[in-house]
Amino acid sequence: MSLSLLLQTPVAIQIHVVSALLALILGAGLLLGRKGTNVHRILGRIWIGVMVITAMSSFFISSLRLYFGFSPIHILSVFTLVGSFQAITAARAGRIAEHRRHVGNLYSFALLTAGAFTLLPGRLMHKLIFGEGQRQAHLVAIGLLLILVLFFQWWLRRDAAGHKA
């Protein structure tokens, strides 16, 4: 893994990568930790802020310019912004099950699934983490990450149905 490659990229990509990694780590802690505490609320606000930074920074990344300078992945950024607003609105209104659903979807799709696609050969994150070569091994790793996403979605739905994790 070489961070020098990341440091050679535009600032928007650097901000995007750092905020996404921070959201990934912080989000995992929030999802696995105790809910409803003051710490959860404070870290949750920070997490939403980092998610918004991640989504907003993506609009300044246009390596795939398909539609007016944007790519289909930017739809996920819009989804993230809308989902963040919905998660905040639900939490403030006391609709905790709805809040958990929005947050779980954001974590699962905007971070885990999108993150899995950044690991495809030829992408920056693939080069940062794996270097070059061994494509089949990397594709297996990506497949395992997608299985993790499916497991995470099952766990969220199971937990939302009243089972305590």
DSSP string, 92-145: HTT-HHHHHHHHHHIIIIIIIIHHHHHTSTTSHHHHHHH-SS-HHHHHHHHHHH
More confident residue, 83 or 149: 83
Number of domains into which the chain is organized = 1
Query: Taking the model in full, what pTM does it have?
Result: 0.79
Is 48:88 a contact under the CB 8 Å cutoff? Answer: yes
Q: Is residue 165 part of a domain?
A: no
Q: Is 67 helix (H, G, I), strand (E, B) or coil?
A: strand
Average pLDDT over residues 72-81: 86
| Within-domain flag for 96 | yes
CA neighbor of 149 nearest in space, from 157, 23, 136, 135: 157
Instruction: Give domain status of residue 105, yes or no.
Output: yes
Q: pLDDT confidence of 165, banded at 50, 70, 90? A: very low
∠ CA 102-103-109, rounded to 5°: 85
The parent domain of residue 156 ranges over 3-160
Q: Is residue 141 part of a domain?
A: yes
143 lies in a domain? Answer: yes
Distance CA 81, CA 136 (A): 34
pLDDT at residue number 76 = 86
Does 102 fall in a domain? yes
